[in-house]
């Protein structure tokens, strides 16, 4: 049964998402290692059939006949595939009628109530926002990165948050509004900045073939977390280096983890004078197969023994989802084989 008012529909969707998180301990998993809500893993764990296909004019669909199932398009980036999958999971869990979903699921993000609403869609939208971008997940990443609410004035911070949530920049802006962390006015101002400008600024004089991939700014604050992105994403590592004391980040370790180094430079950390720490900026491109872990030590090249500092993180850069089964389903079949 679908609710009768807009407010009730928002509440139903939001509460269903929160209930699901609680029942399945998703929050406890993320508290350990960070990362985002593994929507495709969740769908697989429910034995809910999901297929990825090139869909014409649709982002996804929820079907219920003869059995429930989800379709997701190949034609969009991972962040949009993820949001669509959350929306379709909402239809399933809320026992909705079948639904063919187009770009409107993205257009409805700003919570405008101008046009007459289909409350079933409002429920699924609210489920998707609450499921993929819950306030506790935003708070976890903000705490980890040292961001206060005021730091969400900066497009660069909101963009980095969006990557860690596995959401688009735009969806992240609107979910910050929904959680009342920023105002509608500020969201509109943030959206005047295109992610492309933020990528160009991070990459400096390195020019990739195109700017479709995302650019992750990784620092010591990302240590021991999980990074999940897509094949043509780039990493910009910004690490404090105590080169005055002879300590250097061992960039060869990055190459050994399968990264191509496309840029490497140093910048003085202001006002520390000569011999003080510098910022080491390294731009790296993951190579195939795109999953693994990265471990980087800061040490004196001539000394054995424990490093002065270490950055370790796990990454999966195999997005977006490709035609056929989801990556989560493929992994399960491989393990079963
Ligand atoms: Zn829908």
Cα 163 to ligand 1 centroid, rounded to whole Å: 24
Q: What is the spatial distance between Cα 229 and Cα 265, in angstroms, rounded to a whole number?
A: 24
Using the CB atoms, write b or e for 73-96: b if 16+ within 10 Å.
Answer: beebebbbbbbbbbbbbbbbbbeb
pLDDT higher than 80, residue 275: no
pLDDT-derived band at 289 (thresholds 50, 70, 90) equals confident
pLDDT-derived band at 268 (thresholds 50, 70, 90) equals confident
| Backbone φ, ψ for residue 271 (5° rounding) | 70, 10
- Token pair, residue 212, equals 């479709």
Contacts (Cβ under 8 Å, ≥6 apart) of 223: 310, 311, 312, 313
Sheet holding 69-73, edge to edge: 50-53, 69-73, 60-63, 99-101
Cα 65 to ligand 1 centroid, rounded to whole Å: 16
pLDDT of residue 228: 96
pLDDT higher than 70, residue 74: yes
- Token pair, residue 329, equals 């389903």
Q: Which of 22, 13, 167, 197 is nearest to 87 (CA)?
A: 13
pLDDT-derived band at 243 (thresholds 50, 70, 90) equals confident
pLDDT-derived band at 305 (thresholds 50, 70, 90) equals confident
Cα 124 to ligand 1 centroid, rounded to whole Å: 6
Task: Check: CB of residue 147 under 8 Å from CB of residue 161.
Answer: yes
| Greatest mean pLDDT among 46-55, 268-277, 286-295 | 46-55
Cα 98 to ligand 1 centroid, rounded to whole Å: 8
Angle formed by the axes of helices 169-178 and 119-132, nearest 10°: 100
Residues in the chain: 337
pLDDT of residue 242: 92
What is the DSSP pairing of strand 69-73 with strand 50-53? parallel
pLDDT higher than 90, residue 47: yes
Cα 290 to ligand 1 centroid, rounded to whole Å: 32
Cα 13 to ligand 1 centroid, rounded to whole Å: 12
pLDDT higher than 70, residue 111: no
pLDDT of residue 315: 94
Q: Which residue has the higher pLDDT, 111 or 99?
A: 99
pLDDT higher than 70, residue 2: no
Cα 96 to ligand 1 centroid, rounded to whole Å: 9
- Token pair, residue 243, equals 């080169």
Cα 128 to ligand 1 centroid, rounded to whole Å: 10
Supply the pTM of this predicted model: 0.95
Cα 87 to ligand 1 centroid, rounded to whole Å: 6
Q: What is the pLDDT of residues 210-237, one digit of tens each?
A: 999 999 999 999 999 999 999 999 999 9
Cα 198 to ligand 1 centroid, rounded to whole Å: 31
pLDDT-derived band at 198 (thresholds 50, 70, 90) equals very high
**Which residue matches tokens 């296909």?**
53
Cα 130 to ligand 1 centroid, rounded to whole Å: 15
Q: What is the spatial distance between Cα 311 and Cα 240, in angstroms, rounded to a whole number?
A: 11
pLDDT of residue 160: 98
Sheet holding 234-241, edge to edge: 215-218, 234-241, 278-286, 259-268
pLDDT of residue 108: 84
Is 137 in a helix, a strand, or coil? helix
Q: What is the pLDDT of residues 119-169, one digit of tens each?
A: 999 999 999 999 999 999 999 999 999 999 999 999 999 999 999 999 999
Cα 102 to ligand 1 centroid, rounded to whole Å: 8
**Which residue matches tokens 């950390």?**
269
What is the overall mean pLDDT for the chain?
93
The Cβ of residue 171 has, within 10 Å, a number of other Cβ atoms equal to: 22
Helix (H) or strand (E) holding 80: helix 78-93
């Amino acid at each position: 049964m679908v609710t009768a008012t807009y407010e009730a529909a928002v509440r139903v969707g939001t509460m269903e998402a929160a209930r699901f998180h609680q029942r399945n301990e998703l929050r406890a998993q993320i508290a350990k290692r960070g990362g985002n809500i593994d929507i495709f893993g969740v769908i697989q764990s429910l034995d809910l059939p999901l297929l990825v296909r090139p869909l014409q004019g649709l982002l996804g669909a929820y079907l219920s006949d003869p059995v429930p199932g989800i379709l997701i398009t190949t034609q969009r980036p991972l962040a949009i595939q993820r949001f669509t999958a959350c929306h379709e999971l909402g239809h399933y869990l809320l026992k909705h009628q079948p639904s063919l979903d187009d770009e409107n699921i993205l257009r409805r993000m700003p919570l405008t109530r101008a046009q007459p609403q289909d409350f079933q869609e409002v429920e699924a939208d609210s489920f998707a926002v609450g499921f993929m971008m819950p306030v506790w997940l935003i708070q976890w990443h903000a705490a980890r990165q040292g961001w206060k609410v005021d730091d969400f004035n900066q497009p660069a911070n909101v963009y980095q948050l969006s990557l860690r949530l596995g959401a688009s920049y735009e969806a992240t802006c609107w979910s910050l509004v929904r959680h009342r962390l920023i105002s509608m006015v500020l969201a509109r101002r943030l959206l005047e900045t295109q992610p492309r400008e933020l990528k160009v600024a991070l990459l400096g004089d390195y020019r990739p073939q195109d700017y479709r991939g995302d650019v992750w700014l990784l620092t010591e604050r990302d240590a021991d977390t999980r990074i999940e992105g897509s094949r043509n994403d780039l990493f910009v590592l910004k690490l404090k280096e105590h080169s005055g004391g002879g300590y250097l980040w061992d960039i060869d370790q990055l190459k050994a983890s399968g990264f191509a180094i496309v840029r490497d430079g140093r910048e003085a950390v202001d006002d520390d004078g000569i011999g003080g720490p510098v910022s080491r900026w390294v731009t790296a491109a993951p190579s195939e197969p795109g999953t693994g872990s990265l471990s980087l030590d800061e040490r004196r090249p001539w000394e054995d023994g424990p490093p002065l500092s270490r950055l370790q993180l796990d990454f999966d850069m195999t997005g977006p989802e490709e035609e056929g089964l989801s990556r989560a389903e493929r992994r399960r079949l491989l393990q079963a084989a």
